[in-house]
């Protein structure tokens, strides 16, 4: 047993990705951010679906139609394969802990 | 977008299972318990893997070797297919909110 709020890396100059469980078809991942956002020029355009939930902190996700949503603890959504998106903001003052489930159709 | 802590059913006389995302191979599910536990006689013996995390409340899981663990917010573990287990206790005073990811090998 492990706790998703514990063992936060001291160095958060880069986002930290850590697989918690899964296999080659499904990956359950913790992401810890602190102030990072996606590169201005780049969109995530993934071949798989990604369900995400914020567990701590705050983040903004932007979509190709330029709509933006703010996620706080407990907020979750399902990002379908090839639904272009980017992380436009994460809280610079506290770590933002995400849970992501990557899964194929 | 939805929030996992919201829209808790008023009637928790039975556990409430709700699929949040997924398909025929992966199911991401919210479970809300309040005082329920598995039947004394029965073990879950599932053909698929189940990753679970408690987000609110408290619960105890028991395994076939009679080891028991207590889960609070953020505690997670991966229960492999055919690893027999049961929920031996959930907090009777507050709702316990679980996230479960059911996935095949």
What ipTM was predicted for this assembly? 0.94
The answer to the question of residue A11 being in a domain is no
Give the pLDDT score at B104: 94
> Domain of B68: which CATH number?
2.60.120.10
Tell whether the model's pLDDT for residue A104 goes beyond 80: yes
The answer to the question of residue A74 being in a domain is yes
Q: Enumerate residues 79 to 98 of chain B having a beta carbon within 8 A of any beta carbon in chain A.
A: none
- The residue whose two tokens read 């697989």 is A19
| Whether B21 and A49 lie within 8 Å, measured CB to CB | yes
Give the pLDDT score at A82: 95
Question: For a pLDDT cut of 90, what percent of chain B falls above it?
Answer: 90
The per-residue pLDDT for range B6-32, each reduced to its tens digit, is 999 999 999 999 999 999 999 999 999
The answer to the question of residue B5 being in a domain is no
Can you name the residues that pair with A75 across neighbouring β-strands? B3
CB-based contacts of A103, cutoff 8 Å, min separation 6: A25, A26, A27, A48, A49, A50, A51, B22, B23, B25, B26, B103
Nearest CA in chain B to A29: B51
Instruction: Please give the model's pTM, rounded to 2 decimal places.
Output: 0.95
The answer to the question of residue B51 being in a domain is yes
**Domain region containing B90:** 16-103
- Which residues of chain A does B75 touch, with a Cβ-Cβ cutoff of 8 Å? 1-3
Give CA–CA dist A94/A8, Å, rounded.
Answer: 11
3-state secondary structure of B41: coil
The answer to the question of residue A62 being in a domain is yes
pLDDT band for A48, please (50, 70, 90 cuts). very high
CA A1 from chain centre, in angstroms, equals 22
The per-residue pLDDT for range A8-43, each reduced to its tens digit, is 999 999 999 999 999 999 999 999 999 988 877 789
The answer to the question of residue B69 being in a domain is yes
- Which residues of chain B does A101 touch, with a Cβ-Cβ cutoff of 8 Å? 21, 26, 28, 101
- Which residues of chain B does A53 touch, with a Cβ-Cβ cutoff of 8 Å? 4, 99
The answer to the question of residue A35 being in a domain is yes
- Which residues of chain B does A22 touch, with a Cβ-Cβ cutoff of 8 Å? 51, 103
Phi and psi torsions of B102, nearest 5°: -95, 125
| B51 shares contact with chain A (CB less than 8 Å) | yes
Pairs across A and B, CB distance < 8 A: 80
Average pLDDT over residues A52-68: 96
| Phi-psi category of residue B5: left, alpha or beta, with phi > 0 → left and psi -120 to 50 → alpha | alpha
Handedness of CA A65, A70, A73, A75 (dihedral sign): negative
Nearest CA in chain A to B7: A74
Write out residues in chain B with pLDDT < 50, as ranges: none
The answer to the question of residue B10 being in a domain is no
3-state secondary structure of A62: strand
Give the pLDDT score at B39: 77
The per-residue pLDDT for range A80-99, each reduced to its tens digit, is 999 999 999 999 999 999 99
How many domains does chain B fold into?
A: 1
């Amino acid at each position: 047993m492990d706790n998703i709020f514990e063992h936060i890396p001291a160095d958060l100059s880069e986002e930290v990705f850590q697989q918690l469980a899964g296999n080659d078809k499904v990956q359950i991942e913790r992401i810890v951010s602190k102030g990072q956002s996606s590169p201005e020029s780049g969109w995530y355009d993934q071949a798989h679906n990604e369900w995400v939930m914020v567990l701590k902190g705050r983040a903004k996700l932007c979509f190709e139609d330029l709509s933006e949503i703010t996620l706080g603890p407990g907020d979750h959504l399902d990002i379908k394969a090839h639904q272009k998106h980017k992380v436009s903001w994460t809280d610079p003052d506290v770590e933002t802990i995400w849970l992501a489930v990557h899964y194929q159709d």
